[in-house]
Each structure stands twice: as structure tokens, then as C-alpha cells.
Structure 1
Amino acid sequence: MNISLTLPSPEGSLEALTLNPTGPWRKPTDLITSRKVYAAAHVTPRTLGNNVPGAPADIDWEATLAFRRELWSWGVGIADAMDTAQRGMGLDWAATQELINRSAAEAALIATPERTVRDLLACGAGTDQLDPADVEPGEAGLAAVLEAYREQIAVVEASGAKVIIMASRALAKVASGPADYLSLYGTLLSEVKEPVVLHWLGTMFDPALAGYWGSTDIAAATGTFNELIQANAAKVDGVKVSLLDASHEVALRGGLPDGVRLYTGDDFNYPELIDGDGTHHSDALLGIFAAIAPAASAALQEYDAGRPTEARAILDSTRELGLHIFAAPTYYYKTGIVFLAWLNGYQDGFAMVGGLQCGRNVNHLVKLFRLANSAGLLMDPPLAATRMACFLNTVGIACVVASTDPER
């Protein structure tokens, strides 16, 4: 059956689009071993919840956990309670704690000696229970940030998940320079029970993190970051770098101590970074992988089978979709992730906590639909067409879905 629908162009005219079949994706039957990969997952709000800007997050836990089960079925791990889950943009600390504990309980149900809870789930620990407006530079502010980190790390450790130490808006405010970062992070790393992931999030994702690691100069900040890693390598499982700068990542990757992974957070350049340069490759902790999990899984299976050319081609086929979802203003990429999840039937409504579904305009979402179709990532084309038409009709654009049987 051929399915087509009318979509608006940026100029406002209506154009017919015939949907492609879903890509030839197959779920893995063996553990994926060639790369260590986590897909950063979003949360689904309760349909009748008061998920308006400024309100506490009201989560549909069954839909949220079902999406995590779907991601695990594609062989990837999950990075939870991260910026994709709207940390600092609608997901409050109370809901975050419940998310961590519920996701860890689900992971424990499918964990094996070969694929532990830590392999299945890594969770963000930050300081967002602190309002940066309430802390001031100096010893008292640094002490408050340290205690906030300790509280959140304890929650993640108790759940059994791997800890991701997230960048802190409060620390960016109170730190006076590199020494404060080295001291605070050094204390945390001396206390953690098992190796953690260090997260460096760029200002394109969160403008409040300007000057992280004690400098707005990337080279200087990288020097501080490297100093921390080299001094604490035994406590660092890996680093996630989200600066959208492939050359910077390659240079950083090449200098990491043995055993410390580089989990790319570059949702623009992930194909070549995961593919590698013949000497090193990046592992991945990516928001885009939650959107392209079937294709990402297929690529990883090709790497495992010793077919890197085929693997790279699959990743490259998703690049344009990633570039679009993460286009500026990049911090609204979460809206596109959720829109595609809704189109694919992973949640009942196109809604986000904090009302963030309004973060992208209609033209952006129409192009996202076109690109997902081109990449074979509409997992149920008839459903996706119906939902896209519903969305467009709701915003005042007449959209007609048609189906034809090519054999008649």
C-alpha cells in the first residue's frame, strides 16, 4: 500500500509526499560489543497532568518506561535524567529521583552478568535542586554545590545505575576559576563508589554554562578538564563532550588515559566520530540515538560483524535528520525528539513537561517529518501519516492522507 499526504512548503503551498517504507532494521540477537552506546531518553507527561511552564512535572510513568524498554530492545543503553529528559527545562528534582529509581528497577529486570544495570542505564547527577539565584560566589556557595552533587550522586548510586556527573549552572555561577572546579570535582571523584562519566555540556545546549571549567576559552577549559581526568583516571569511566566540535573531540580523545572512554555528545558529527580514524573511535551518549535507535542499532550490528563501510553508510543516512533536530536554538532539540516519538506511537499525545512542545515551529516539524521519512525512521507509516495530518489540521493547515494499492 502506498501512503501519501499533503504537507506545506515553507512558502505555504501544499505538496504531496509519498511515504517510504520503514528501513530494513532488525533488533540484535547478540550483545553489541564494538561500541559502548547510550541513547539519552525523554520523559512523557501524563495526558491530563498540569504540565504547564513552571509546574512540577507530572509524568506518565508507563509510557516513559515503555519507551526505555523499546530502546533497550535495540541493544543500546539508556542515559536517563539528562538534558534530553528536560533537566533544567521542566523536570524537577522530585520527578527526577522517581525517574532514576523507576528506570533502574526496569533495568534490573533484564540485567545479566554480561549486560549489567550499569551497562543498561547511566543517570545524570547534578545540582538542579539548587536555584542558582540562591547561591553566591565563595566558600559557602561552593559548599552548597558540593552537597547538592553529593545528594544526587547518592540517589544514582543507590539505584545501581552508572553516575553521570552533569555540568552545574550553580557551579558555573559560584566558581571563581579553574581551581574551584578541580577541587570540587576532585572531592566528588574521591568519594564515588565506581567510575563515573564526566559531562561537559556546551553553551549551545545551556547558555547558563558559559565559562565552565573556569574559562570561556575552550583551549584553557580543555586544559583544566584534562588535568582533572589525568589526576583521577581510575574514577572516570568516560567523558561525554557536547560541544559540537569534531576536531576538538578528536584531539581530546587521543589524549585520554587508557581505559577512559570518549562518549561523543556531538549530534552533528557522530557518524565520523563513532567510525573513528583508524586509531581511536568515540563511543556515544547521544540524544539523537533515542530518535534513530533502529538505524543506530543496525549500524552497530554492522560494526560488530566487521563491516565498517556499511555501518558508516547507515549512520551517514541519519545525519541530516540529526542536523535538523539539533539546529539552533539547539536547547530545543528535545521538542523534535518527542515529536518523532509521538509520530511513531511511543506516546499518545505530542506533549512535554513544562509545555516545551511549543519549542519548535510548524515548518521545523514538517521538515523533521520529511527527513525521518527519507531515513526510513517512520516505524509505522500509516500511523505517522495520520498523526501528522492531525497535527497539521489542528494548527489550521488542511492535510489529506491518501492510500493506494499498487497492485490495483
Structure 2
Amino acid sequence: MRGSVSSTPTPPSSTTPAITFDRVTVTYGRGRSASEALSDFSLRVAPGETVALLGPSGSGKSTALKALAGFVRPSSGRVRLGDRDITDLPPARRGIGVVVQSYALFPHLRVRDNVAFGLRAHRVARSEIGDRVTDALSMVSMSAYADRLPRELSGGQQQRVAIARALAIRPGVLLLDEPLAALDAALRQSMLTELQQLRAALPDTAMLYVTHDQSEALALADRVAVMRDAHLVDLDTADALWARPPSTFTAAFLGGANLVPCTVGRVSGTSALVSVGDRMLSVTAPPRRVGAPDWAPGTSAMVCIRPHEITVAATSGHGSIRARVTATVWQGSTTRVTLAVDGLPDVLLDADLPGRTEHDIDSAVWVTIAPGTGVLVSTNGAP
């Protein structure tokens, strides 16, 4: 059974949404071979707001972007920009800036001509094109490369040119489809910083950012729409989804949380005592979705515990639980230690410990989870 959308999907502005998806479904194929790439998808994005569509491959996030850009036509539902229904308009008449991961630059055109291409397609007056190109290249710090060919640029520079081309038409809506996926790790981090600066420079531009990378979504988005199997699963601010994930899928996908089965005991406000195996833990009990019952004693649930919230020691301490090391992976700034916990035969916990931490496989250790760091997640309606 699929999770329902969280109870705070409203954009942070009372003005007409810049983007509206109204129950959009996209189906490929016919008859028995038909499959839904996007199902009953509804979303509003306010002017100046950045929303990330986050999910694994095949979740429907890129299909949603293509439906907005005009590259696919919905089987049902409507797409609007402001008050304008654009469902049946061709891509060139939508006035949307689009940036894709493959850059899609014309290899035979110099940078300035690549950026000018969209302006000519939109029949901008020739007298304006030069200034618009100059402004767009300046915005992405590529003015010095205006006379180069794409093959003379690095991957990051080519992506900046692609962004400049999208910005040159001065769109009210900017779509970015996995724009950093083709870049190496160091360059991706640099471009992420530049995209943050670009957001600040375009306070009235609505952005829809498609990614499977949670760090990009958390860094850039005002709100995150978590998608799975062609459906919108959860929608809220990045902070809220991280701190209080409404579903087990979002808890696991956004941050790779450990999910440990538990039984709810006493609840007081936003705190709860839960039984995990033969142990009691103090955890956070977030408010339930609208229409969902409150946490009740005896309710089965999951405790979401982030790997960095777990400490591991060679000796026992107050509230610690005995565990056995099953695997260790050094990740540079942290070491990922996988643990089999006594009393939880079907559960493995991942702990991220600072630095390079040595633990022998099968060695006995003691695990501590600080009170209040775990968060209850309902198993009802979760994907």
C-alpha cells in the first residue's frame, strides 16, 4: 500500500502557483502492454520556489518534468504555468528553460551562439540578443569562454553554458533534469554551490529540480517531493522530511536511515517510550498525518535511526546494547560499521563513526542510541 502525501504540501506563497500539475497521468503503450510512468500526480510550485523531485530510477520524476516541458503528453490531467493551461502546447511555446545532464550543446556552435540559439528560436529582436547573451554568461561566470567551442570546455563549463542558454530566454520556470549526474564528485560539489548562488540571483524564478541524489535535494530545495513507482509518496520541506519522515520509504531513501521494528509504549507530547526487542528506548513521536490516529500504546511502528546517531564502544555504558560487528567500510571522513544487535535477530544497524575506526569482524561491541534521536515512523500506509 502506498504512502500518502504529507499534510503540508502548500507552497509558501498565496499567489497563483508558477507550476501546477493537476492529477497528471502519463501512460506508455496500449492495451495489456500499457504502463503508467506517472500516476495521478498533483503538485504546485510557487514563484521563486525550488522543488526537488527525488526518487530512484523509474519513479516518475523525469516523466513529470517532460510533461511540464512538453516532451510527453499526459494521458489525463492538466499542466499549467501560472493561469495558462499549457497541456496541449508544443515545447517551444511554453517559455520554459530546460537543462539536462547531457548538456545538449551544439558542437559546431561557439558558446555565445549556443546561448543565443534559444533567443533566436523565440524571435527575440537581434538588437537585444547580444546583451542577453552577455548577461546570461556573466550569471554563470562564463563570459571569458564566449568564443570557445563546446569540445574546448570541461564538463562543468559545458553545464554552465547549458544553464546560461536556459536563462537567456528569461524564463519564469527553470527545469533541471539531473544536471550534475555526468560530473565527477569534486566538480559536482562545486556546481552545487554555484546552483545555490544562482537560486539567490533568481528570486522570482520557480525551479523544478529532478535528482536521485538526496544531498542535492537537501542543499537546493525549499520542498522535496519524494517519488516511487510513478507516484508521489511524500511532500514537505527538506528539514521536515529529514527530521520527521512520514513513511518508511522516505526515511530509508532520504539519508539511508536504519528502520527498527518497535512497539509503542507510553507517549507524552512528542516523546515516546518504545520497546525494541527486550529494551526500552526514548524516541521522538512526531504528529501524525491529518486523519491518522495518534500514537497509541501497543501500536506497531518503526524507529528511524540515522547512522550518524549511533555510537559504538568496546565496553558497556549506560543504556548500551550488546552487538556484533558484521562489516566495516572506511569512507574517508567516516567508517560505516554494520552491526547485528542482540535481541534483534532480523535487524542489521549501520553506524557511521568519525574518522577511520578499526573493529574486527565478529568482535563484540556496545551500541548506544542517544535518547530522543530515534523518530517513530508508521508502518500503516507506508510504501
TM-score by length of structure 1 reads 0.33
User: Per residue, is there more helix in 1 or in 2?
Assistant: 1
Structure showing greater relative contact order (alpha-carbon pairs closer than 8 Å, 6 or more residues apart): 1
User: Per residue, is there more strand in 1 or in 2?
Assistant: 2
TM-score by length of structure 2 reads 0.35
